[in-house]
Amino acid sequence: MARLWRLALFVGATSIINRLFRNWRAADLRGETVLITGGSRGLGLLLAREFAQAGCRVAICARDEAELDGARAALNIPGLLTVTCDVSDGRQVAEMIETVNREFGRIDILVNNAGIIQVGPIWSQRLADFEQAMDVMYWGVVYPTLGVLSQMRQRRSGRIVNITSIGGKLSAPHLLPYCAAKFAATGFSEGLHAEVMDHGIHVTTVIPGLMRTGSHLNAYFKGDEESEFTWFGLADTLPGSSMPAEQAAREIVQAVKRGDAEIILSMPAKLAARFHGLFPGTTATLLGVVNRQLLPPDSRDATLKRGLPIFARLSPTLQKLMSLGSKPAQQYQFHAEAVEAPPIEGPAHGVQVAGWKGETE
């Protein structure tokens, strides 16, 4: 017993010393320029505020100009630069980087945050859904990163922050396009860290769990959309499974200052990642059990439905249970228009997969 106590004290003391050392070597970000993709709402909006409070000059991008106008008013950051850009389009990304360089002279910190969430069983997914997820959350990370690497290498300084997901560590059912793209982004981020660290460039891979940003209201749902929205919305909003987005933003900025290689946010995400690392086969079996509880296997409606109009159809009890996530939706710009999402017509790159038709399989 005495040995166990001594071991526990040693581990605790080592952890405290390590944390103090990491905080001691934290960089001062004042005067540096940060570019945040997907910065008009949710976590991106909060990160813009946190970096501004750290003394950074801030540029944010998003596809929707009206959302950028709303973000500018919500943030009220002096000198904030907003750029309309679809990060899945390499040409637009190049133009955005040129605009930020012209306005601020350089980009010291890149935060790849843009994302899209499609929820539904595999039988309801089309090939185009996977391609769209990869376009936004993989190529939307690669394009901006390649766009800033040369200038960072020349200066032998720079920070790249890739917001991935616990879905990039273990793949959850009914989130396959999202998880596949996040796995790709996580692999890119981890490999990039190893390749550029000798050039003075720090790459931080951020693995968030669920956060209370109200993202369920702007996600897309397929299959039995009300059932899909209910399980995802509850998981996304209840305190036991999700964390406050403000806390996540603070922890990310601190990790960037320290130059951490990876940070996992929220205790459920940390436990899930560690359990999966130790018992991958058991995790896969457990996720199969979870899948059986989510939906009957014949839910194949492939129509994309946005979360907000689905939320309006729920019972008052469910709406009240999700209220923790609905309040941040207003505060962090996640108040999407109550309209259905436009359909995705066919594969974006002209790729065909023999025998797979998704919703009609």
Give 33's Cβ-side CA count (13 Å radius): 20
Q: Which amino acid is at 255?
A: A
CA-to-CA separations, 266 to 6, 24, 242, in angstroms, rounded: 28, 23, 7
Would you state the torsion angle of the CA atoms of residues 301, 302, 304, 305, taken in this order, to the nearest 10 degrees? 0
Would you state the torsion angle of the CA atoms of residues 68, 131, 196, 108, taken in this order, to the nearest 10 degrees? -10
Cβ-contact 111, 49 below 8 angstroms: no
Cβ-contact 205, 184 below 8 angstroms: no
Can 332 be counted among the known catalytic residues? no
CB atoms within 10 A of CB 351: 11
* CA nearest to 46, candidates 246, 206, 256: 246
Write down the catalytic residue from 143, 178, 220, 332: 178
Q: What is the Cα–Cα distance from 135 to 148, expressed in whole angstroms?
A: 19
- Mind giving me the DSSP string for 187-244? HHHHHHHHHHGGGTEEEEEEEE-EEES-GGGTSEE-SSHHHHHHHHHHHHHSTTTEEE
> Which residues are designated catalytic?
178
